[in-house]
Amino acid sequence: MKYIKGFFTHIINTFKRLDRSGTWESEFDAGIAFGTVIFFAMAGVNFIAFMVSSLFVELPFTMLPWKMEPVQSALFWYFIIHTIFSTIIFTIFAVKLFDNTINTPVREINSKLYNLTKTDLPEYMVNGKLSNPFRNSDSKLTWHEKVIYYVDTASAEKYMDELTGCFNKKYFMQKFSSIMQTVRIADSHKKTSGPKTYDLDQYAVFMIDIDHFKKVNDDFGHAAGDDVLRDVGRLLRSTVGEGGVVIRNGGEEFVVVCSAKYPFDFSEVAIRINEAFRRNISINGRKITCSIGFVSFPFTHKDDFFLDIHDHVDLADMAMYVSKTHGRDQWNELKLVNEPPEKIDRRLFCNEIEYGLRRGFFVVRNAKGDFSNLDHME
């Protein structure tokens, strides 16, 4: 019974993929798709032919076999059989042509792709992290998308940080910056005065710094420090999953950019990362923690005060600095409360936290609440 149910489920899923031929998985999928189209095409042609033939032999047109004259009945069954056999023959021909010219070559490419993804690092990159870093993991990849990821992975070595398995600063500068620039420009064209709608994409930029990392190197040696960095890279990729990109910013600092659907509080991501560090990162029994700062992206929505991804990293770095100077092993967010005017010092806005706090542009938010003065956090 379960096999019959599985068969019909497969057919239903195949029909759902008819409009996305790039997701077909086998010749059976192609046969269902081609067969359906060919059957309805042949049925339509033969219906018209039967109607014309009935008029030609001067018999009233009907589709009820028991009301047909012998000649008309013979024509009727001829066209029925013709529809069935024509569908079978043309479907077999179409499937064979499809398999020889498209399916087999693509399957061979995908086989190479699969072999490339046998290790953690290429798998992380081929999941769309290069050309489509925020791909919905529930959506099925088309062949075209898989080939793009294959090409990405084949040339991805220059964008890898070999130690941590994350992206490096070159990826951030050369590819990811342009991706986020597109996101920022798209946001600037949206109406920002109205309420946000559910399922709208929203983003956040995180700065993550390993606490007391220099002391780890001093006490246990650089090899142990490298082990910690390797573990941290693996942990961050696993924690943010398909919804985020992890970049080693240098030394013990990591940039993480996450995507989620509105409404979502990105402090949940920060909490998960802090907790994951406490549970999983240690060296010789000493637990390793991290300090986190983050901001929403885009931080401001004004066209005349355009902040790029690098500015957002600076803002997140200020929030991370608050975490470092107020106890470590925690998260802080810079939260915009008033849009800045065009004529302010952009460098100070993005790099001097007191500048924005004193002027009421943003507040520091953490698990204890919102603060407009760092002294009140002590």
Q: Which residue in this structure is represented by tokens 């096999």?
A: 3
Residue by residue, DSSP assigns 158-227 as: GGEETTTTEE-HHHIIIIIHHHHHHHHHHHHTS--SSPP-TT-EEEEEEEEEETTHHHHHHHH-HHHHHH
Separation between Cα atoms, residue 300 and residue 267, nearest integer Å: 19
Could you give the 3-state DSSP secondary structure of residue 373? coil
Cα separation, 280 vs 283, in Å, equals: 10
Which of 210, 174, 177, 160 lies closest to 313 in space, CA to CA? 177
Q: What does the pLDDT look like over 21-63, one tens digit per residue?
A: 666 767 777 777 788 888 888 888 888 888 888 888 777 877 7
Least confident of 20-34, 37-51, 201-215, 271-285: 20-34
pLDDT, tens digit, 9 for 90 and up, residues 71-89: 878 888 888 888 898 888 9
Is CATH 2.60.40.10 the classification given to domain 160-377?
no
Quote the pLDDT of residue 199.
Answer: 67
Secondary structure of residue 355 in the 3-state scheme: helix
Place of tokens 């069935």: 84
235, 277 contact by CB (below 8 A): yes
What pLDDT score does 157 carry? 73
Could you give the residue ranges of the DSSP H alpha helices within the chain?
A: 2-16, 27-56, 70-98, 104-116, 120-126, 143-154, 169-171, 177-188, 213-220, 222-240, 267-280, 309-325, 346-351, 353-358
- The CA distance from 328 to 292, in Å, is 8
Bridge partners for 166 per DSSP: 161
Judged by average pLDDT, the poorest of 91-105, 158-172, 260-274 is: 91-105
- 3-class DSSP assignment, residue 7: helix
Given a contact cutoff of 8 angstroms between Cβ atoms, the answer to whether 206 and 258 are in contact is yes
Give the closest residue to 225 by CA, choosing from 212, 237, 235: 212
Domain boundaries, the chain: 2-116, 160-377
